[in-house]
Amino acid sequence: MIRFLIATAVALTATAAMAQDAWLTIPEPPAMPEAASSGTATVNGIDMYYATYGSAEGTPVLLIHGGLAHGDIWAAQVTDLSSDHSVIVADTRGHGRSTNDGSTYGYELLAQDYLALLDHLKVDKVHLVGWSDGANIGYTISSTAPDRLASHFAHAGNVSLDGIDPSVESNEVFGAYVGMMAGDYARMSPTPDGFEPFLGGVAAMWGTEKPGGLEGLQSVSVPTLVVQSAHDEAVLTEHAQAISQAIPGADLLILEDVSHFASFQAPDAYTQAIRNFIDQ
């Protein structure tokens, strides 16, 4: 385990070094490949967009995006992983092409949506790759429905408010991300003029203390890799370290020369880190 963590960190460093200060930009992801299937699932009172890729046997990979985003941000990862894995992406409630029924955003509800989606797709268990809010959804599923997860690659999540870097509120890179997602929302959403209330609802979730906190992770039995970026604008490294120490058997991977948006900034190395973990 330690050897592959070190190897992954070296690969990420080498890739990011080709672009000076890669953590200061958020490149546009490439176009999504052609889906094997796509549609909307009626779950928990909403229409939830999903798409599947690849046809490989074995445990599928479920990629859950971060707050304000949508499933298409995983294009680079989907293109690579679907060559030998079945891959599922979706738009979280109210995000991208999915609707919301007026419910208040909360990680418990979002986790229930994803579990209902897996039921709709008749998928018993997945390798979950979660980024930011996706990792937080993953921590909720790990705690409440561990039998549905073969593993959890948890990048840039937090389980308590003191894990958030307060400087994120004025960070220019994070602000650029919000602007990028505002444009995508206007293009993709069934309510294209609703970004401001949507942002307010998601921000309220970000500012609400999560039940359980670090103590709630001590009973997690899902194999977990806690992933933290060295230049993360939103989550403190010491918090990621605390999460990895709280989950029995978890490991910690620090991604050098990238930020909260590592999957955009070093997509090939990021995907390799996923492979190194789920394929072992």
Q: How far is CA 164 from CA 63, 156, 160, 167, in A?
A: 23, 10, 8, 9
Q: Are 175 and 148 in contact (CB under 8 A)?
A: no
* Structure confidence by residue, pLDDT tens digits, 139-162: 999 999 999 999 999 999 999 999
Q: How far is CA 217 from CA 2, 128, 158, 212, in A?
A: 22, 16, 11, 7
Specify the number of domains making up the chain: 1
* Structure confidence by residue, pLDDT tens digits, 36-70: 999 999 999 999 999 999 999 999 999 999 999 99
pTM of the model: 0.93
Residue 79: predicted pLDDT: 98
* Structure confidence by residue, pLDDT tens digits, 101-124: 999 999 999 999 999 999 999 999
Domain that holds residue 135: 2-278
Helix (H) or strand (E) holding 64: strand 61-64
Distance of CA 207 to the CA centre of its chain: 18
Residue 25: predicted pLDDT: 96
Q: Are 235 and 156 in contact (CB under 8 A)?
A: yes
Tell me which residue of 40, 97, 89, 31 sits closest to 63, measured CA to CA.
89
Q: What angle do CA 261, 179, 257 make, to 5 degrees?
A: 20
Q: Compute the distance between CA of residue 90 and CA of residue 88 in angstroms, rounded to an integer.
A: 7
Q: What angle do CA 254, 140, 228 make, to 5 degrees?
A: 10
Bridge partners of residue 37, in order along the sequence: 52
5 has a pLDDT exceeding 70: no
* Structure confidence by residue, pLDDT tens digits, 7-45: 344 344 444 444 469 999 999 999 999 999 999 999 999
Collapsed DSSP state (helix, strand, coil) of residue 122: coil
Specify the amino acid at residue 134. Answer: G
Q: Are 256 and 16 in contact (CB under 8 A)?
A: yes
Specify the amino acid at residue 223. Answer: P
Q: Compute the distance between CA of residue 74 and CA of residue 89 in angstroms, rounded to an integer.
A: 8
Give me Rg for the CA atoms of the chain: 17
Domain with residue 16: its CATH number is 3.40.50.1820
